[in-house]
Amino acid sequence: IVRFNQIMKISALSQYGLRAMVYLAKSNKVGSVKKISQDEDISSDYLEKIISKLKQAGLVQAKRGAHGGYTLTRSPKKITIGEIIRILEGTTAPVICLNKDKKNKYVCPQSKICLTKNVWRKIQETVNSTLNSMTLASLVDKKHG
């Protein structure tokens, strides 16, 4: 969950998930959990859970066999960092009051009268804009270019 205490924090789930996705984008081939785990220094059990979420969301696919592992389902140019973070975190809202229920209504009872909501909304919009403007390819290109 994205939290706003003194600073906004992204969970280890997203940090490791993004590293795994960059690894797959960078290698441009099948990556096994064992190899990604070793190369990125991520617990293989934790990485399995992360990869499972990414697979359920359709960002990675499994290849079976002796040289099996995972690959991206789309070009790294077509996968945004925002998409990855939202899959793993569920939201990019810096505070709970920006979360909505199934009927698209804010969960905070103060929502209609809250004078600070616009601050949090502006932060969320800025974060989303930044995350949505970056792709896996842009990270890989910057790392190698």
58-92 residue pLDDT tens: 999 998 887 889 999 999 999 999 999 999 988 77
Q: Where are the beta strands (DSSP E) in the chain?
A: 3-4, 8-9, 60-63, 69-72
Residue 2 has what pLDDT? 46
φ, ψ (nearest 5 deg) of residue 134: -110, 140
pLDDT of amino acid 91: 78
The helix/strand/coil state of 46 is helix
Tokens 């790392």: give the residue: 143
pLDDT score of 133: 96
Low-confidence residues of the chain, pLDDT below 50? 1-7, 143-145
